[in-house]
Structure 1
Amino acid sequence: MPAARRSRHPASAAFDDPTPRPPGVPTIAEELPARRLDEIELADEARIEHVELTGALPTGTDARGTTIEDARIRGSLAGAKLHDLHLHDAQLTGADLANIDLQGAHLSRLTIANCRMTGAQLIETTLIDLTLTDCRLDFAVLSLARLDRVVFRGCDLQEASLDQAQLRDVRFESCDLRRATFGQSRHQRVQLHDCRLEGLRAISDLKGTAMPFPDIVDQAQAFAAALGISVAVDPEDHA
């Protein structure tokens, strides 16, 4: 067969590359008019765009199918119930999203930095092109979520749940994943770099992910325990 036919197509080679593809970045206007969240009537199917949001949503806010795009969010949405939210092309900086309920939401092209997302309910959400930096996601629930081109950088994910989630092109950098769960999750081009994994509910659930060799060596004891391998004692050392 001619050599030209044996060569692989560049697109095929790129598809087989185990390196996660980086997330896209949001497109946001440089100047945005400011509005306070407590002055916005957030009803079902509401549309909010081209705005910088500050302040805090009223307690007990419950709206379905809201769309927010071309926005900067610096205020508090803590405890809000926003099922099926569509949040696109936005920057969230120092925002409080603790215990927010975003079940079934679609989040895309976001940068999220220094945000508090403790206990956030992200069940069955779709997250595409997200970069999360120095965020608290301890006790967050991402069960049945779909993550595509997502980076977690310096995030606290202690006791977070990613059970049955689908992760593709996802990278965890210097994250705290102690006691997190990945039960029945699926991984494609997923990497963990310099992460804390002590007490991970079942380290075997990370099957299909990739780690740098020094990280693998550091986690050797946990991997051995997951496989039921104990450390042999040399009789001479014992003596």
Structure 2
Amino acid sequence: MNDPAESSATICGLEIRRADLAEPASGRVLVDCTLDDGDFHDLDLSEVVFKRCSLRRARFDGARLGGAQFLQCRGGEGSFVGADLDEAVVTGGDFNNASFRRAKLTSARLQRCKLTGADFTDAGMLGVVLEEVLLAYARLPGMAFRKSTFRQVDFSEADLRKCDFRLAVFEDSSLRNASLDGCRFEQADLRGADLGGVELMDARLFRGAVISRVQAAELLSQLGLRVL
């Protein structure tokens, strides 16, 4: 695949405002550009590539970003409320405290990025891929993660109430101190998950799931029992 920086449609090192992207921008490549505090709501930015761009507090509410790529971008406190991010790719960078409320992220890929405190309430995340993602304190209530595989995903302190984790697999991931009320874990493989903070009275949430002997021992230790 060609480096996006080599594309003839590349814009490098500029401060970008709404007027610069008002025309259909499909296929455009932005490298090392600044979009901080910009208003890009409702624009058609399908398949646009953002590489090492600064998007802090930028507003993309309702924008069409299907197939867009965010490569090593800084989008802290950005707003993507109701945006179409189907099949979008976020690799590297951070979007800490960004809002993705009601956004569509079907088949999106979120990899090696920081999303601490991000809000995904009412987002559509069917088929989303999460790998090496920091989602501590994030809000993801009611998400459907059935049959998903989580590799190095940190859900510590996250709001995961009523999420569907049936048949999911956790590899080197964390659910430490997450809010898990109403979650479903039937046939999930939790052996690769940090379950720190889960009390024995909450272990019923994991009925039908697979856990390790070490995890079982940690839960039973709350009753003063040891597993040998």
TM-score by length of structure 2 reads 0.74
1:39 Cα offset (Å): 5.0
Cα separation, partners in 2 of 1:166 and 1:111, compared to 1, 3 Å: same
Runs of 5+ unmatched residues, structure 1:
1-27, 233-239
Residue equivalent to 2:18: none
Distance 1:58 1:137, change over 3 A: closer
Aligned to 2:128: 130
Closer/same/farther in 2, CA of residues 153 and 192 from structure 1, 3 Å limit: same
**2:87 aligned counterpart, secondary structure:** strand
Aligned-partner residue type, residue 89 of structure 1: E
8 Å CA contact retained: 1:133, 1:153: yes
Query: Are 1:35 and 2:34 an aligned pair?
Result: no
Aligned to 1:223: 219
CA distance in 2, matches of 1:219, 1:129: 28
Following superposition, the deviation at residue 225 of structure 1 comes to 5.8
1:63-212, aligned counterparts within 5 Å? Answer: 63-74=60-71, 75-187=73-185, 189-200=187-198, 203-204=202-203, 206-208=205-207, 210-211=209-210
Structure 1 Cα separation of the partners of residues 69 and 110 of structure 2: 10
Equivalent residue for 1:44, pick from 41, 45, 50: 41
Partner secondary structure for residue 45 of structure 2: strand
Q: 1:167 to 1:126 in 2, by over 3 A?
A: farther
Code of the aligned partner of 2:114: R
Q: In the superposition, relative to structure 1, how do residues 176 and 29 fare at CA in structure 2: closer, same or farther (>3 Å)?
A: same
Counterpart of 2:96 in structure 1: which amino acid?
A
SS in 2 for 1:204: helix
Root mean square deviation, CA, Å: 2.9
Letter in 2 for 1:204: A
Would the aligned equivalents of 1:128 and 1:150 in 2 still touch at CA under 8 Å? no
- Cα 1:58–1:92 change in 2 (3 A) is closer
Cα separation, 2, equivalents of 1:208 and 1:125: 27
TM-aligned CA distance change 1:188 to 1:210, over 3 Å:
closer
Looking at structure 2, the residues matched to 175 and 149 of structure 1 have their Cα atoms a distance apart, in angstroms, of 15
Alignment partner of 2:106: what SS? strand
Q: Which of 54, 57, 69 is the aligned partner of 2:55?
A: 57
Instruction: Give how far 1:165 is off.
Output: 2.2
- Whole-Å separation in 2 of the counterparts to 1:113 and 1:89: 13
**2:186 and 2:206 in contact (8 A); partners too:** no
- Contact in 1 for aligned 2:101/2:121 (Cα 8 Å): yes
Structure 2 CA distance for aligned equivalents of residues 128 and 56 of structure 1 = 28
Task: State TM-score, norm by structure 1.
Answer: 0.71
Whole-Å Cα distance in 1 between the matches of residues 104 and 61 of structure 2?
A: 12
Query: For structure 2, which runs of at least 5 residues remain unmatched after alignment?
Result: 5-26
Largest Rg, 1 or 2 = 1
- Distance (Å, rounded) in 2 between the aligned partners of 1:204 and 1:132: 25
Q: CA deviation at 1:123?
A: 1.4
